[in-house]
Amino acid sequence: METFAEAREFILKYHELVHDEPFIIGFEFELDGGRKQSMFVAELNSEDGHRYLRIETTVVPMARFSAEKCMRINQMQRVGYLAAGDLDGTPYVKMCENMAYRTLDLNELRYVIETIARRADHFEDIIDDGDDFS
């Protein structure tokens, strides 16, 4: 996979887009039990000219999750990392993964999207007693 357009086309095969702009798309990942996880995919460029595909989703409001807990989880994660971001002016913990185009294939993209969606939903469920924020 070499372009954002290819990633977008692949995602469209499985998900309806709820956000569609050049180089950023959003969709709802269907989970068991009727839950959904809002996912976003964007293209990032590094200072040295490398291009990355970022997969991200919100997890929980920052006020309900300590920075120490985030760092401990990041240490154990093999796919995805926790970061901070804003959603409508509220600080949130979000789960992200940056994937280099030069090594990206469709199976890896599918795996990362599914893994991040399920883990983020699992964290939401544990932290907020079943509430679905995304």
The predicted structure's pLDDT at residue 27:
98
The predicted structure's pLDDT at residue 92:
92
**Spatial CA neighbour of 26 closest among 61, 59, 60, 57:** 57
Residue with token string 């920052």: 62
Model confidence pLDDT, tens digit, residues 66-120? 788 888 888 888 888 899 999 889 999 999 999 999 999 999 999 999 999 999 9
pTM > 0.75? yes
Task: Write the CB contacts of 50 (distance below 8 Å, at least 6 apart in sequence).
Answer: 100, 102
Per-residue pLDDT band at 128 (split at 50, 70, 90): low
pLDDT tops 90 at residue 62: no
Question: ∠ CA(108), CA(12), CA(10), 5° rounding?
Answer: 30
Enumerate domains of the chain plus CATH numbers.
Answer: 4-127 (3.30.1460.10)
Per-residue pLDDT band at 133 (split at 50, 70, 90): very low
17 versus 75: the higher-pLDDT residue is 17
The predicted structure's pLDDT at residue 124:
83
Task: Write the CB contacts of 108 (distance below 8 Å, at least 6 apart in sequence).
Answer: 99
Model confidence pLDDT, tens digit, residues 23-53? 999 999 999 989 999 999 999 999 999 999 9
CA distance 110 to 113: 5
Mean pLDDT of the chain: 90
